[in-house]
């Protein structure tokens, strides 16, 4: 449906990206954490700014669940990116100072290897034969990309939501390769509430008869299930105060109806329909499952909990209206980092846009981000 006559409000810029990125191709077998392997691997990425002669000014920007590598406009794709105002000359990720890299997730559908990619063994899309992946697998693929680019040490590892999970894990797994970390609206691990919400979204997709055990490529797409999944997800991305101000109890017509009647219902339908045109349903399933499996507190036999290995200065940003990653989860992360003497700063924003605040509030999110990344340069 068209977004006609809906009360206006700021919305993230997410578009389907089919070109304009670079591709790193690895011919080495990629073994996944929970078993299974990919015989080869593609990672789509884009860059902004210039890499210094010392190759020490790179910032890796990690994406959330449904974002592409297109975080900012560039000559090969001049459309606005999903973090357009956060990247550029003088911006929080200042391209006059930094070389910014953003890649599409392993498991994604915007140029990186995912369920919709062709399985070399069969010549058909992987579909549900794609192996279960983790945030650790995503980070391992990013490390292959950094090696390909000849970047041994990152100035910064930055991410929000699932991107924050990656940012933290990268600093934990390779502390010698990361000088600064930023985690926005993320967590030390996934908790039952968010796991349950993502489970219901996956169930909506898999209950659609058109899903066909993931083998819908070349046939009808599981549109109804994907749409419902995104509608559920959208409820967790914004906040009740914003919707009260934006939609109140406004209705579409005088007579009640069983479909989209209230304006907030029309908004959810619009978001669901829009997402169906942009994103692969199987990628949605696999990446959301990876979020569920995330836990930095698990100790291995050889090493302690991953979170205890983070040593570099870390900025944590939480949002009071975030229902998907509540601020108590940000506080838990901060307290855990402080116990290991990790230099950590915490910023809590009283913002009304919920989880999507990191995509919308350029000044309030961008200012502490810029300060954190540039502090060492000012010394």
Q: pLDDT tens digits, residue range 158-193?
A: 999 999 999 999 999 999 999 999 999 999 999 999
Q: What would the mean pLDDT of 73-101 be, rounded to a whole number?
A: 96
Q: Which of the four pLDDT bands, split at 50, 70 and 90, describes residue 257? A: confident
Share of the chain above pLDDT 90, in %: 85
Residue 318: Cβ within 10 Å count: 24
Q: What is the pLDDT of residue 377?
A: 58
Please list the residue range(s) of the chain that carry CATH number 3.40.50.1820.
22-190+296-378
Asked if the model's pLDDT at residue 3 lies above 60, the reply is no
Active site residues: 161, 322, 355
Spell out the alpha helix ranges (H) of the chain. Answer: 135-149, 162-173, 192-207, 223-237, 240-247, 263-276, 281-293, 327-339, 357-360, 362-378
* Nearest in space to 14 (alpha carbons), one of 297, 209, 237, 216: 237
Q: What's the mean per-residue pLDDT of the chain?
A: 93
Spatial CB neighbours of 304, under 8 Å, sequence gap ≥ 6: none
Q: How far apart are CA 187 and CA 185, in angstroms?
A: 7
Q: For residue range 261-280, what is the model confidence (pLDDT) as tens digits?
A: 999 999 999 999 999 988 99
Contacts of residue 117, defined as CB under 8 A and 6 or more positions apart, other chains included, come to 42, 125, 126
Residue 215: pLDDT band by 50, 70, 90 thresholds? very high
Over range 122-133, report the average pLDDT: 96
Mean pLDDT, residues 106-127 taken together = 96
**Reported confidence tier of residue 71, pLDDT bands at 50, 70, 90:** very high
pLDDT score recorded for residue 14: 65
Predicted pLDDT of residue 15: 67
Q: Answer yes or no: is pLDDT of 18 > 50.
A: yes
CA count, 13 A, side-chain hemisphere, 214: 18
Residue 260 has pLDDT above 50, yes or no: yes
Domain with CATH 1.10.1740.110 in the chain: 195-289
Q: Is the pLDDT of residue 150 over 90?
A: yes
Mean pLDDT computed over 221-247: 94
pLDDT of residue 376: 72
Fold of 22-190+296-378: Rossmann fold (3.40.50)
Residue 216's SS3 state is: coil
Q: What is the mean pLDDT of residues 326-337?
A: 96
Question: What mean pLDDT do residues 125-149 have?
Answer: 97
pLDDT surpassing 90 at residue 133: yes
The pLDDT of residue 1 is 40
pLDDT at 2 over 60: no
**Residue position matching structure tokens 């509540």:** 326
- Look at 147-156, 288-297, 370-379 and tell me which has the smallest mean pLDDT: 370-379
**Closest by Cα among 109, 176, 165 to 139:** 165
State how far the alpha carbon of 129 is from the alpha carbons of 98, 116, 226, in Å: 39, 10, 19
**What pLDDT shows up at residue 41?**
96
Choices 1.10.3720.10, 1.10.1330.10, 3.60.150.10, 1.10.1740.110: CATH for 195-289: 1.10.1740.110
pLDDT at 4: 54
């Amino acid at each position: 449906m068209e977004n006609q006559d809906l009360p206006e409000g700021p919305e993230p810029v997410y578009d389907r990206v089919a070109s304009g990125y670079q591709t790193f191709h690895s011919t080495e077998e990629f073994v996944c954490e929970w078993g299974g392997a990919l015989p080869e691997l593609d990672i789509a990425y884009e860059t902004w700014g210039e890499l210094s002669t010392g190759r020490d000014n790179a910032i890796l920007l990690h994406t959330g669940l449904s974002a592409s590598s297109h975080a900012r406009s560039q000559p090969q794709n001049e459309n606005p990116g999903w973090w357009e105002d956060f990247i550029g000359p003088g911006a929080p990720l200042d391209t006059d100072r930094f070389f910014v890299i953003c890649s599409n997730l392993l498991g994604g559908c915007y140029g990186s290897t995912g369920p919709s990619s062709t399985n070399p063994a069969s010549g058909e899309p992987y579909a549900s034969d794609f192996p279960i992946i983790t945030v650790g697998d995503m980070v391992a693929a990013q490390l292959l990309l950094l090696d390909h680019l000849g970047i041994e040490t990152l100035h910064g590892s930055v991410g929000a939501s699932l991107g924050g999970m990656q940012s933290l894990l990268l600093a934990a797994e390779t502390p010698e390769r990361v000088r600064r970390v930023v985690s926005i609206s993320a967590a030390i691990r996934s908790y039952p509430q968010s796991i349950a919400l993502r489970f219901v979204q996956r169930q909506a997709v898999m209950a659609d008869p058109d899903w066909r055990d993931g083998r819908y490529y070349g046939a009808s797409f599981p549109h109804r299930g994907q749409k419902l999944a995104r509608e559920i997800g959208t409820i967790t991305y914004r906040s009740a105060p914003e919707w009260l101000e934006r939609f109140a109890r406004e209705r579409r017509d005088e007579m009640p109806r069983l479909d989209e009647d209230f304006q907030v219902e029309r908004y959810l339908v619009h978001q669901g329909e829009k997402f169906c045109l942009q994103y692969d349903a199987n990628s949605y399933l696999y990446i959301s499952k990876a979020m569920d499996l995330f836990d930095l507190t698990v100790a291995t036999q050889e090493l302690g909990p991953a979170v205890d290995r983070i040593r570099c200065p870390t900025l944590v940003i939480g949002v009071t209206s975030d229902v998907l990653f509540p601020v108590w989860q940000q506080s838990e992360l901060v307290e855990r980092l402080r116990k290991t003497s990790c230099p950590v700063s915490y910023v809590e924003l009283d913002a009304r846009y919920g989880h999507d605040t990191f995509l919308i509030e350029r000044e309030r999110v961008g200012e502490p981000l810029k300060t954190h990344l540039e502090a060492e340069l000012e010394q």
